């Protein structure tokens, strides 16, 4: 893991869930045998995004809410380089929610990790669309009038090919999830419930710890869509974690591009002056 180390000091709060996710991702990459130069990590804007220069790899730190299409474009240009996008619940389910819809349905060959702390941490604790409705937050002292967006139900309605949920306090499990996600054929959606000790006083580390359970160790079959959706959505008593759903039968967006199917090269390798003589003929 040393190769992924940088001298840049972390700037997250003590007890922030970002540390766990950061550590688990590095370990997953090492266990999969990737060198830092073989991968591209793309970060949205938010507390997690401040980790863009805290991991030694090819990284990218973009605009708020827009990490998915950038990462998708990168993955299509060179599908040989694993692309992982990270985004917070604020960016991913408000500003960039449209990208989420289309990334899932496009089934891009990439991984998305949701840093889900149910608030806008970096802008000092405003409510996100995943914040519980009656929870008073910065800028909403009476709680938000809007209903909370049921993110898992929403994601499952888009017919995803991979859904997992982890908890920032369980590095072992996150490593397993990330490794599986990175090897998934299409778009892997990974929701990591994370503690925000500064602004989320409800779903704290201890609270999450006492509510999560590993569905896979309880025998959940990730190929069962209906059951996966049920246990993902129903969080009344306990919160399911693990690989909730995976379908490897659906080709990725890239695989569905008919003109690319016979190509051995990537778009990155193909940049050269292209003879358009044949194309000009139809105009004569």
Partner 1 sequence: MKRISLKVTGAQGQGVNSVGEICGKGLKHAGYCVFGYREYMSLIKGGHSGYQLDVSPEKLESSETTVDILVNFNHHGLMQNWQEVKKGGIILHQTPMWEFPSEQQKWLKDNDITVVYLPVEDILKKMKAPNILGNVLITSAVWTLLGQDDDVLKELVRKQFGHKGEEIVQMNFRCIDEGTAFIRDDSVQPLTLPAPDLKWANHMYLTGSEAMGLGIIHGGCRMYVGYPMTPSSPLLSYIADKQNETEMVIKQAEDEITAVQMMSGAMHMGTRAATGTSGGGFDLMTESLSLNGIIENPAVIVLAQRPGPATGLPTWTCQGDLLLAVGAAHGEFPRLVISVSDSQDSFDLMPEAFNYADEYQTPVIVLTDKHIAEALYTQVPYDVTKAEIRRGNLVTDPKKLAKLKSADRYDPTVKDGISPRWLPGTEADVYCAQGDEHDAEGNVDESASNAIAQMQKRMAKMTALHNALPEPDLIGDSNPDILLVCWGSTRSVVDDVLKSEEFAGASIAYLHYSFLWPLKTEKLLQLVSKAKKIVLIEGNYNGQLGKLIRQECGLNIEERILKYDGRPFFYDELHRALTPLLS
Q: Which is nearer to partner 1, 14 or 278 (CB)?
A: 278
Nearest distance from C-beta of residue 32 to partner 1, angstroms: 15
37 counts as binding partner 1 under rule CB under 8 A: yes
Nearest distance from C-beta of residue 84 to partner 1, angstroms: 12
For partner 1, the binding residue among 24, 29, 57, 137 (CB under 8 A) is 57
Binding to partner 1 (CB under 8 A) within 235-254 occurs at 254
264 counts as binding partner 1 under rule CB under 8 A: no
Q: 3-class secondary structure for the chain?
A: CHHHCCCCCCCCCCCCCHHHHHHHHHHHHHHCCCCHHHCEEEECCCCHHHHCCCCCCEEEECCCCCHHHHHHHHHHHCCCCCEEEEEEHHHHHHHCHHHHHHHHHHCCCCEEEEEECCCECCCCCECCCCCCCCCCEECECCCCCCCCCCHHHHHHHCCCCEEEEEECCCHHHHHHHHHHHHCCCCCEEEEEECCCCCCCCCCCHHHHHHHEEECHHHCCCCCCHHHHHHHHHCCCCCEEEEEEEECCCCCCCCCCCHHHCCCCCCHHHHCCCCCCHHHHHHHC
Residue 208 contacts by C-beta under 8 Å, 6 or more apart in sequence? Answer: 167, 168, 169, 193, 195, 239
**Residue 262 CA neighbour count, 13 Å, CB half:** 1
Task: Tell me how far apart the alpha carbons of residues 174 and 187 are, in angstroms, rounded to a whole number.
Answer: 17
For partner 1, the binding residue among 12, 19, 70, 178 (CB under 8 A) is 70
33 counts as binding partner 1 under rule CB under 8 A: no
Nearest distance from C-beta of residue 136 to partner 1, angstroms: 31
Alpha-carbon separation of residue 98 from 62, 85, 106 (angstroms)? 17, 15, 12
Binding to partner 1 (CB under 8 A) within 80-119 occurs at 80-81, 98-99, 101-102
For partner 1, the binding residue among 134, 237, 249, 275 (CB under 8 A) is 275
158 counts as binding partner 1 under rule CB under 8 A: no
For partner 1, the binding residue among 134, 236, 249, 279 (CB under 8 A) is 279
Q: Which is nearer to partner 1, 19 or 70 (CB)?
A: 70
Nearest distance from C-beta of residue 16 to partner 1, angstroms: 17
Nearest distance from C-beta of residue 37 to partner 1, angstroms: 5
14 counts as binding partner 1 under rule CB under 8 A: no
For partner 1, the binding residue among 141, 145, 219, 259 (CB under 8 A) is 259
For partner 1, the binding residue among 12, 47, 59, 125 (CB under 8 A) is 59
263 counts as binding partner 1 under rule CB under 8 A: yes
Nearest distance from C-beta of residue 164 to partner 1, angstroms: 23
Q: Can you give the binding site for partner 1, defined by CB under 8 A?
A: 6, 8, 35-40, 42, 45, 50, 52-53, 56-63, 66, 69-78, 80-81, 98-99, 101-102, 254, 257-260, 262-263, 266-268, 270-280, 283-284
């Amino acid at each position: 893991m040393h190769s992924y180390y940088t001298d840049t000091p972390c700037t997250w709060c003590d007890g922030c869930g970002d540390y766990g996710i950061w550590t688990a991702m590095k370990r997953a990459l090492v266990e999969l045998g990737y060198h830092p130069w073989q991968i591209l990590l793309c970060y949205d804007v938010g507390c997690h995004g401040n980790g863009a220069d805290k991991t030694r790899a090819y990284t990218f730190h973009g605009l708020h809410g827009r990490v998915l299409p950038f990462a998708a474009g990168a993955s299509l240009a060179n599908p040989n380089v694993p692309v992982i996008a990270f985004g917070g619940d604020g960016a991913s389910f408000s500003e960039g929610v449209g990208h989420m819809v289309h990334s899932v349905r496009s089934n891009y060959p990439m991984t998305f990790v949701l840093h889900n702390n149910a608030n806008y941490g970096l802008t000092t604790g405003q409510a996100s669309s995943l914040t519980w409705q009656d929870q008073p937050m910065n800028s909403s002292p009476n709680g938000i009038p809007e209903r909370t967006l049921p993110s898992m139900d929403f994601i499952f309605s888009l017919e995803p090919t991979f859904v997992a949920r982890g908890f920032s306090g369980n590095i072992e499990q996150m490593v397993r999830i990330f490794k599986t996600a990175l090897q998934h054929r299409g778009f892997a959606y990974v929701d990591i419930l994370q503690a925000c000790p500064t602004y989320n006083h409800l779903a704290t580390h201890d609270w999450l710890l006492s509510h999560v359970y590993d569905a896979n160790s309880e025998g959940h079959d990730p190929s069962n869509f209906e059951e996966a959706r049920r246990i993902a959505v129903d969080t009344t008593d306990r919160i399911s974690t693990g690989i909730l759903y995976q379908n490897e039968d659906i080709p990725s967006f890239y695989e569905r591009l008919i003109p690319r199917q016979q190509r051995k090269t990537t778009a990155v390798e193909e940049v050269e002056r292209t003879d358009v003589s044949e194309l000009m003929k139809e105009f004569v």
